[in-house]
Structure 1
């Protein structure tokens, strides 16, 4: 039902207007009558009428002031002025206040009914428009994750224009400012990590991986992180980096959770950048690295995983790794050389230096602390290994990052 309020200082006029038309048949309920502008404002605030009959001359607050003040609280209500004044200045002011109709007393019943029906038509149009907007808003909220993911994948694949990036990330409320990072995960189907040997449907497996990742991030209250399934067998985590140590541990944490719950071998790559514009470059790099990893033999895949988990141990040896993956040291050494083109020591050094470079992005760490974290008990030995791999000393490299 549409609600009607009548505001007029003459009781006879109010009675006449309240009975002039079959309000119920028109779908209208009379919710109040006011004898002055102040009372009309109070009733309007309380009963939220859709249609108001308003006289110009009323005590305390006249009709025109009432309309002006009413529009601050009831923006979508329809005001029909019914006045005994035919002065042009009143009509002119009413037009400025966007009054729906200006009628002179005494009103003609047929004319009033025509105006009221027209008002109802306007209200119905406004209601339909509002309902459509609410529906569209609900659809947007319901599908916002799909919309977001479609845009991000388009962007990472290099299809989206650069100028779209900031506007879309702002619209999608991703809040990415400053350093950002990306982690990519992939299941290696032919390398089991559990005893169940369960065969997974690919879509179901990727769905499970995404859910595990989202649940872990939610439990950690990780803000500004997005989890994507790129439909190519990879789960991608991307977003802002608030703490480099936590960020570096995140990839391992998610990988452990995936492998524990799914009993599958998961390979992971993780990189960071100084701005969101670099994320597509990171994405291409991570996809290339995962592709290279995934093409290796099961033994070398497991070896790389073992080293990635234990590189920080200063005493880590080829024998330790061989024992961990249950092969002989000699066989493992030959496989590493054949598939990676590196000896065990060379590969371990490469991993340690790569991890050290990631830690150097955090200004809180001193060089000697980084050396200890990546498995070097001597800063001198670390500096020598770092220069051999990168061509420069860790101190110079770290200063270059800061500048």
Structure 2
């Protein structure tokens, strides 16, 4: 519904215009009437008005001056000039101040409604365009946020890639300079004991509000704080920031009070040790998980790993352990894990706890990749005090080996569906990481298969080769960005995983038969098929 103002010094003329207009049919409501330009400006100032019908020859402030002021103050208002004079001066003023229409009195009903129909149609188009632009900007911001979160997750999961690539991507995602800055991680979650005992409300229903509250607070930190989720811990929210530990405590206390006020749940948060350099982010992230696990557990403070503790499992050792689990090689798992535990128990409690948590996180990661579950009784994030109670190598190994046995057992029981689960995991990984440098050999190694067998299995289950599927996923995202944004081809190429704009353009033309630029120009013509050629 658009609001319209009639401006004419003769009441009978204003009444005649009102009666001639098909307001209901045009979607117009009368906002008011004015007898001169000064009255009209007062009404415009106090009301939301989109259309003005104005006479030109009026006392106090005539149409020419009114149009001049209106154009300056309210450039989006559509002005329709109605006058009884075929005066070149008035026509020229209407053109100069970009009037939508110029009509002569007496105005016929059909002519008036036709003009108003054209004006409302133009307003409709502009409104739709504005809504589409707002929607596009929102979707692009969501897309950008998801890509940034995937990048952060790769940093904290030992998957960051070559240093030059990491530095470049960090700059693209607004994290330029974070490599040299000291950061801390914070892990947030609803109080576990309140979830397990004393409430019949499903906490999962409150995770989205918790995430929204956390993101809003992080967004207010002016580029010094990033909020992200990790699929391995669906009930937790994570934050990384360059701010001080005092700022983080204030951040956590504010969130705690907001969650209590809005959701009536208690919030726990754990703050990790400070780290510097992207390669150390995984340790900072781990320390925040450990800190959150120990929140409210009444364990001695000296049991928490400190930043000075250098004992840790290497990324290569973690990958080997995960590979043994993926292959169901339990004996090899024992040979790999027991020496690590024996070494850990020669050091302080902090080192032992850190190693146990690292091994547990490796088990969780393997279980997630294999689409199997870890029983709640075995989950350290539900029973954080358990890590401290594992005070011997045998106890620690028995706990971890029990989880490993369950993973292997579930894998073997689902042997018939193992290949299907594997390919589903691969597809999910590609869908999440298509913007990164992916290749068949690395993917085969990641999922513990020989490249040749992996290639054959993928094609058999998906119906397309690995490269075809990866290209299809990337092209689907490229189409989306071409249609919904005005990003350059360089930006689109980078956001969709192509090495450069030139290669992206040639690949796009090979798949769709037109260049990306031509595709974007021909969008209204509806290109025959938006499905990539097989």
> Could you say if the C-alpha distance between residues 177 and 103 of structure 1 is closer, same or farther in structure 2, counting changes exceeding 3 Å?
farther
Superposition deviation, residue 242 in structure 1: 4.0
1:150-177: per-residue Cα shift (whole Å, max 9, x none)? 35457844596866644531xxxx7967
Q: Is the 8 A contact 1:48 1:74 kept in 2?
A: no
Distance 1:287 1:268 in 2: 18
Which gives a bigger RCO, structure 1 or 2 (Cα 8 Å, sep 6+)?
Answer: 1
> Could you say if the C-alpha distance between residues 299 and 138 of structure 1 is closer, same or farther in structure 2, counting changes exceeding 3 Å?
same
| 1:229-240 correspondence to structure 2 within 5 Å | 238-240=240-242
Superposition deviation, residue 34 in structure 1: 0.3
Aligned counterpart in structure 1 of residue 343 of structure 2, from 257, 275, 300: 300
> Where does residue 131 of structure 1 map in the other structure?
131
Superposition deviation, residue 55 in structure 1: 1.7
Distance 1:179 1:99 in 2: 57
Residue 211 of structure 2 corresponds to residue 168 of structure 1: no
| 1:99-138 correspondence to structure 2 within 5 Å | 99-138=99-138
Distance 1:292 1:268 in 2: 24
Distance 2:26 2:392 in 1: 88
1:51-74: per-residue Cα shift (whole Å, max 9, x none)? 210122323333233233334554
> Could you say if the C-alpha distance between residues 180 and 240 of structure 1 is closer, same or farther in structure 2, counting changes exceeding 3 Å?
same
Q: Is the 8 A contact 2:272 2:291 kept in 1?
A: no
Distance 2:305 2:37 in 1: 71
Distance 2:230 2:136 in 1: 27
Residue 66 of structure 2 corresponds to residue 66 of structure 1: yes
> Where does residue 376 of structure 1 map in the other structure?
none
Q: Is the 8 A contact 2:305 2:350 kept in 1?
A: no
Superposition deviation, residue 237 in structure 1: 5.9
Classify the secondary structure of the residue corresponding to 1:41.
Answer: helix
> Where does residue 96 of structure 1 map in the other structure?
96
| Higher share in strand | 1
Q: Is the 8 A contact 2:57 2:63 kept in 1?
A: yes
Residue 155 of structure 2 corresponds to residue 150 of structure 1: no
Distance 1:302 1:75 in 2: 75
| 1:211-222 correspondence to structure 2 within 5 Å | none
Classify the secondary structure of the residue corresponding to 1:76.
Answer: coil
TM-score, with structure 2 as normaliser: 0.40
How many residues get paired? 271
1:48-101: per-residue Cα shift (whole Å, max 9, x none)? 222210122323333233233334554432111112343334323322322111
Superposition deviation, residue 20 in structure 1: 1.8
1:101-120: per-residue Cα shift (whole Å, max 9, x none)? 12222223322221111112
Distance 1:20 1:300 in 2: 92
> Where does residue 5 of structure 2 map in the other structure?
5
1:121-156: per-residue Cα shift (whole Å, max 9, x none)? 112212222333344455456666424313545784
> Could you say if the C-alpha distance between residues 254 and 100 of structure 1 is closer, same or farther in structure 2, counting changes exceeding 3 Å?
same
> Could you say if the C-alpha distance between residues 163 and 260 of structure 1 is closer, same or farther in structure 2, counting changes exceeding 3 Å?
closer
Classify the secondary structure of the residue corresponding to 1:114.
Answer: helix
Distance 1:101 1:138 in 2: 35
Q: Is the 8 A contact 1:269 1:286 kept in 2?
A: no
> Could you say if the C-alpha distance between residues 50 and 248 of structure 1 is closer, same or farther in structure 2, counting changes exceeding 3 Å?
closer
Q: Is the 8 A contact 2:5 2:51 kept in 1?
A: yes
Distance 1:72 1:270 in 2: 61
| 1:310-321 correspondence to structure 2 within 5 Å | none
Q: Is the 8 A contact 1:179 1:241 kept in 2?
A: no
1:190-237: per-residue Cα shift (whole Å, max 9, x none)? xxxxxxxxxxxxxxxxxx9xx99x98xx79x9883335567689x986
> Could you say if the C-alpha distance between residues 25 and 225 of structure 1 is closer, same or farther in structure 2, counting changes exceeding 3 Å?
closer
> Where does residue 29 of structure 1 map in the other structure?
29
Classify the secondary structure of the residue corresponding to 2:24.
Answer: coil
Q: Is the 8 A contact 2:344 2:352 kept in 1?
A: no
> Where does residue 290 of structure 2 map in the other structure?
255
Classify the secondary structure of the residue corresponding to 2:31.
Answer: strand
TM-score, with structure 1 as normaliser: 0.51
RMSD of aligned C-alpha atoms? 5.2
Distance 1:257 1:299 in 2: 26
Gaps of 5+ in 2: 187-206, 249-270, 275-283, 322-335, 354-388, 394-534
Classify the secondary structure of the residue corresponding to 1:111.
Answer: helix
> Could you say if the C-alpha distance between residues 229 and 117 of structure 1 is closer, same or farther in structure 2, counting changes exceeding 3 Å?
closer
> Where does residue 180 of structure 1 map in the other structure?
181
> Where does residue 528 of structure 2 map in the other structure?
none
> Could you say if the C-alpha distance between residues 43 and 125 of structure 1 is closer, same or farther in structure 2, counting changes exceeding 3 Å?
same
